[in-house]
């Protein structure tokens, strides 16, 4: 068989044919298509070059920062919030070091071990962590485990954790060799050592240490300071990498704030306010303000019911009934009302306490004299336009001077005075006394007054305004205005902060007294103070007398506004003391009292007397001792604790006191009521508890109001209780209150007063 071989020349000819064919195909492309093809290539290259340039030069800084953020970690160092002190440097709000626990779920992984499924190991680790977190921080296990399995980069496990719990966690993590994904950041937590004291004034902080109410809010910028920061490189597991790039910015701690509030006076005011609200069943509570009129410093400001500053979101006792049945929106509204500082935020009709403003205006304008006989006449009612307005004394007061009209709190006389003044002059002085503006007190959300527009004031409106009704003001506005009368006619801006202190430098900044204007002359101010003194000494405010001190005042009882009858009556008493060189202005207001006698002179004046009976001696204001209470020999109780029963009994009885106890003669005394140092009248009772019998014996305090001192003493002795008194006459107030449960031997303080004969409205 013939074998045919391919000749090399034949192959070459074939290749040449293929080349020619390719050239023919290329050459067959039209010039237009070639240009388009090349253009597309150039556009693509240009786009790529542009993109690279854009990323490099335009977004280069962004990606650089992003890279840094992925490799650099920072943690906030919380500034320590400044403390709040009273005027005696007693701490009312402090910050303590705590920590906040956060996690990075994706970095919480079990250590790799041979033959162990990694996913299952991670699951077991997170369940273990969830149990421990729940145990230490008292958390819900399921919710905590959900956070550990979260897809988020960070979750907060617990905030504001006290150091002992943090140390427990740290030790557990160390023992279990867990070091990644769990962060412990330094933080601070706000504490209020006295719980409810001045709660509505001090306010509280949120979880981020930001002030939310009261002084905490109004002075937040001064108290909070500036947080610091640590920045360092971190690994992919969020562990810090030691290097030279670590930066530390120290926090600037907040300044301390010193209040004008005296916690001792605040405690006294709150004690008697609470008692008055509860005894008179005041459905809308009450408030009290005590101010130094010469400086504008608020010495006490209380609202009741109050709340616990350490648990601001827990309803107080007044709100707790049926709380769970309320919607979240209703609960929020109730809490907001609970926090309100009603002395500054809420408005009310001042009633007859406002008559001192009307009278001051008339005296300043020389439209009346203090003691012109028969200057006013009261028949028990007066016709104003188409409206008949009655006096509280429907039989009428007859002919009166201005002094007598205020002693009697006579509405027709004040209506006549208002007519003499006229709308234009009345509004001029309302403006001058500050009733059309906020007081400027350094507290948040101050309320505003509500008056008729001047052009809409007719005869009836002028008449009702003259005796303090059908307009509303805040209690603080009235205190500021009356403080001008007490301060020789000079209006002063009230304030609750005395000074601030930079904790880093120790420098202090004082809050200076701001005198705004001379509202009335000193001569008129002195005349008004003298009239107010007579209101307390012989008029409707006699229950406000304080033995040994001169007190001026004015009663107030405003009727329900017809448009809001549900608000009920408002009973109040306004006081200044002493008359010469006045140091205190006090306003007590009780809202919607449910009692048979709701007049301010009857239920508010005695409370002011109780407050002043303790505050005036505390401030070392000299007493004239001209009206001492029942005089009895007083005995100071010695300390008999640790002595035998027989020894203690002998010591007590040798002092003229009665000893009440049970047990064996050689039993050791463990407790005594009253405490050592208490002063009792001879015949008083000392209850002794011993090692053989330390079971407490309690008694219910009887109602002593309206009885004489001797009768009250007998009633208390029958229950093994003691008595202490101020004033003379019948009992008008007592502390502890009626039906309070107290230990045998407790001293019950009573305020005595002669029977009042004048109007107490």
What does the pLDDT read at residue 630?
A: 42
Instruction: Tell me the C-alpha distance between 702 and 699, whole Å.
Output: 9
How do beta strands 658-660 and 685-690 pair?
Answer: parallel
Containing structural domain, residue 363: 344-618
Q: Are residues 612 and 651 in the same domain?
A: no
* Residue 19, phi-psi category: left (phi > 0), alpha (psi -120 to 50), beta (remainder): alpha
| pLDDT value of residue 696 | 82
**pLDDT in the model for residue 80:** 86
Distance from C-alpha of 300 to C-alpha of 33, rounded to nearest angstrom: 95
* pLDDT at res. 32: 67
- Mean pLDDT, the chain, as a whole number? 88
Residue whose entry in the numeric block shows the structure tokens 């506005």: 477
Reduced to 3 states (helix: H, G, I; strand: E, B; else coil), residue 91 is strand
Instruction: For residue 448, give the CATH number of its domain.
Output: 3.40.710.10
Q: Which two tokens stand for residue 667?
A: 């039993």
Q: How far apart are CA 11 and CA 17, in angstroms?
A: 10
Q: Is residue 60 part of a domain?
A: no
Q: Is position 277 within any domain?
A: no
Residue 311 resides in a domain: no
Q: Are 442 and 381 in a shared domain? A: yes
Q: Are residues 512 and 588 in the same domain?
A: yes
The DSSP secondary-structure symbol of 535 reads H
Q: Verify that 587 and 662 share a domain, yes or no.
A: no
Tokens 């953020």 — which residue? 69
pLDDT score, position 625: 63
Is 91 within a domain? yes
Clarify whether residues 577 and 690 are in a common domain: no
Per-residue confidence (pLDDT) for residue 697, from 0 to 100: 84
Name the pTM for this structure. 0.77
CB atoms closer than 10 angstroms to residue 78: 23
- The pLDDT score that the predictor gives to residue 110 is 85
Is residue 556 located within the same domain as residue 420?
yes
CA distance 683 to 662: 19
* Per-residue model confidence as pLDDT tens digits over 69-110: 444 455 667 778 999 999 999 999 999 878 889 999 888 888
Burial of 473 (C-beta count, 10 Å sphere; 0-12/13-18/19+): buried
Q: How many domains does the chain have?
A: 3
476 and 434 both lie in a single domain: yes
Strand (E) or helix (H) holding 222: helix 220-224
| Tokens 């530390």 found at | 248
Whether the per-residue pLDDT at 518 is higher than 90: the answer is: yes
Q: Which of 713, 715, 738, 737 has the alpha carbon at shortest distance from 724?
A: 713
The answer to whether residues 177 and 99 belong to one domain is: yes
pLDDT band at 295 (very low <50, low <70, confident <90, very high): very high
pLDDT score recorded for residue 198: 98
Q: Do 611 and 639 belong to one domain?
A: no
Residue 589: predicted pLDDT: 98
Q: Is the dihedral of CA 44, 48, 50, 51 positive or negative?
A: positive
Model pLDDT, residue 56: 66
CA quadruple 25, 26, 32, 38: dihedral positive or negative?
positive
Rounded-to-integer distance, Cα 554 and Cα 531, Å: 10
Give the CATH number for residue 720: 3.30.10.20
For residue range 222-246, list pLDDT tens digits in order. 999 888 776 665 554 444 455 555 6
What gap in Å lies between CA 332 and CA 383, rounded to an integer? Answer: 47
Q: And the tokens for 580?
A: 């010469």
Please state whether beta strands 376-378 and 91-103 pair in parallel, antiparallel, or not at all (unpaired).
Answer: unpaired
For 115-140, what is the mean pLDDT?
A: 88
Tell me which of 371 and 708 has the higher pLDDT.
371
Domain boundary residue, one of 199, 224, 257: 257
Average pLDDT for residues 357-383, to the nearest whole number?
Answer: 97
pLDDT of residue 756: 56
Domain-embedded: residue 142? yes
659 and 604 both lie in a single domain: no
In this structure, is residue 100 part of a structural domain? yes
Find the range with the poorest average confidence among 47-56, 301-310, 603-612, 703-712. Answer: 47-56
332 inside domain: no
- Of 513, 469, 457, the closest CA to residue 487 belongs to 513
Q: How many CA atoms lie within 13 A of 459 on its CB side?
A: 9
My answer on whether 602 and 641 are in the same domain is: no
User: Does 462 lie in the same domain as 348?
Assistant: yes
pLDDT tens for residues 425-454?
A: 999 999 999 999 999 999 999 999 999 999
Q: Which of 618, 646, 676 is the last residue of a domain?
A: 618
714 vs 302, higher pLDDT: 302
pLDDT score for 59: 66
150: Cβ contacts below 8 Å, ≥ 6 apart: 105
d(CA 758, CA 305): 32
Closest CA to 478 of 439, 444, 452, 517: 439
444 belongs to a structural domain: yes
Cα 645 to Cα 690: distance, rounded to the nearest angstrom = 7
Question: Between residues 184 and 270, which one has the greater pLDDT?
Answer: 270
State the Cα–Cα distance between residues 493 and 750, nearest whole angstrom.
36
Give one DSSP letter per residue of 718-740, joined into a string.
TTT-EEEEESSSEEEEEESPTT-
Q: Which of 230, 257, 284 is the last residue of a domain?
A: 257
List the CATH number of the domain containing 93: 3.90.1310.10
pLDDT in tens, 624-665: 864 444 444 688 899 998 889 999 999 998 888 998 888 888
Residue 57 has pLDDT above 80, yes or no: no
């Amino acid at each position: 068989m013939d074998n045919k071989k391919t000749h090399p020349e034949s192959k070459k000819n074939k290749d040449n044919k293929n080349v020619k064919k390719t050239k023919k195909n290329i050459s067959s492309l039209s010039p237009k298509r070639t240009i388009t093809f090349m253009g597309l290539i150039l556009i693509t290259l240009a786009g790529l070059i542009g993109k690279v340039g854009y990323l490099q030069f335009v977004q280069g800084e962004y990606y650089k920062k992003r890279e840094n953020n992925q490799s650099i970690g920072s943690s906030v160092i919380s500034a320590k919030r400044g403390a709040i002190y009273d005027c005696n440097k007693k701490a009312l709000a402090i910050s303590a070091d705590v920590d906040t626990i956060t996690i990075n779920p994706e970095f919480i992984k079990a250590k790799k071990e041979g033959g162990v499924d990694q996913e299952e190991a991670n699951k077991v680790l997170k369940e273990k962590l969830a149990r421990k977190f729940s145990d230490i921080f008292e958390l819900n296990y399921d919710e905590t485990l959900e956070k550990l399995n979260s897809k988020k980069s960070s979750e907060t496990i617990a905030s504001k954790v006290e150091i002992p719990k943090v140390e427990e966690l740290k030790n557990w993590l160390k023992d279990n060799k867990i070091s990644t994904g769990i962060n412990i950041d330094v933080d601070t937590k706000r504490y209020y050592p006295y719980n409810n004291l001045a709660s509505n004034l001090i306010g509280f902080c949120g979880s981020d240490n930001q002030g939310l109410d009261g002084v905490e809010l109004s002075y937040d910028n001064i108290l909070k300071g500036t947080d610091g920061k640590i920045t360092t490189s971190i690994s992919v597991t969020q562990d810090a990498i030691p290097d030279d790039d670590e930066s530390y910015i120290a926090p600037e701690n907040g300044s301390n704030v010193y209040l004008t509030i005296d916690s001792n006076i605040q405690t006294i005011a709150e004690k008697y306010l609470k008692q008055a609200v509860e005894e008179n069943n005041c459905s809308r509570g009450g408030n009290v303000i005590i101010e130094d009129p010469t400086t504008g410093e608020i010495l006490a400001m209380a609202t009741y019911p109050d709340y616990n500053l350490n648990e601001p979101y827990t309803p107080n006792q007044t709100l707790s009934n049926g709380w769970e049945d309320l919607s979240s929106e209703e609960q929020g509204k109730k809490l907001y009302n609970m926090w309100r500082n009603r002395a500054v935020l809420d408005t009310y009709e001042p009633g007859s306490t406002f008559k001192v403003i009307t009278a001051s205006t008339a005296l300043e304008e020389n439209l009346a004299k203090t003691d012109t006989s028969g200057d006013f006449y009261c028949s028990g009612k007066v016709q104003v336009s188409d409206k008949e307005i009655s006096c509280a004394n429907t039989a009428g007061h007859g002919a009166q001077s201005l002094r007598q009209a205020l002693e009697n709190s006579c509405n027709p006389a004040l209506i006549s005075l208002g007519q003499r003044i006229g709308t234009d002059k009345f509004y001029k002085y309302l403006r001058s006394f500050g009733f059309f503006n906020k007081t400027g007190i350094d507290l948040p959300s101050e309320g505003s007054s509500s008056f008729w527009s001047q052009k809409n004031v007719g005869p009836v409106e002028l008449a009702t305004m003259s005796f303090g009704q059908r307009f509303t003001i805040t209690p603080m506005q009235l205190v500021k205005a009356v403080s001008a009368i007490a301060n020789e006619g000079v209006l002063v801006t009230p304030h609750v902060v005395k000074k601030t202190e930079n904790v880093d430098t120790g420098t202090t900044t004082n809050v200076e007294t701001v005198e705004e204007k001379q509202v009335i002359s000193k001569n008129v101010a002195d005349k008004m103070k003298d009239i107010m003194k007579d209101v307390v000494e012989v008029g409707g405010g006699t229950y406000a007398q304080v033995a040994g001190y001169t007190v001026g005042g004015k009663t107030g009882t405003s009727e329900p506004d017809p448009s809001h009858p549900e608000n009920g009556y408002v009973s109040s008493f306004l006081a200044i003391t002493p008359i010469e060189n006045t140091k205190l202005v006090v306003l007590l207001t009780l809202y919607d009292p449910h009692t048979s006698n709701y007049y301010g002179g009857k239920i508010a004046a005695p409370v002011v007397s109780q407050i002043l009976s303790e505050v005036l001696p505390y401030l070392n204001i000299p007493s004239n001792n001209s009206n001492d209470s029942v005089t009895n020999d007083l005995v100071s109780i010695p300390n008999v604790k640790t002595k035998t029963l027989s020894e203690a009994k002998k010591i007590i009885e040798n002092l003229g006191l009665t000893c009440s106890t049970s047990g064996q003669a050689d039993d050791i005394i463990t407790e005594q009521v009253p405490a050592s140092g208490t002063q009792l009248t001879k015949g008083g009772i000392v209850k002794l508890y011993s090692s053989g019998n330390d079971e407490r014996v309690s008694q219910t305090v009887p109602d002593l109001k309206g009885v004489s001192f001797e009768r009250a003493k007998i009633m208390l002795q029958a229950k093994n209780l003691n008595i202490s008194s101020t004033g003379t006459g019948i009992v008008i107030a007592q502390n502890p209150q009626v039906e309070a449960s107290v230990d045998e031997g407790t001293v019950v303080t009573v305020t005595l007063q002669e029977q009042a004969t004048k109007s107490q409205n």
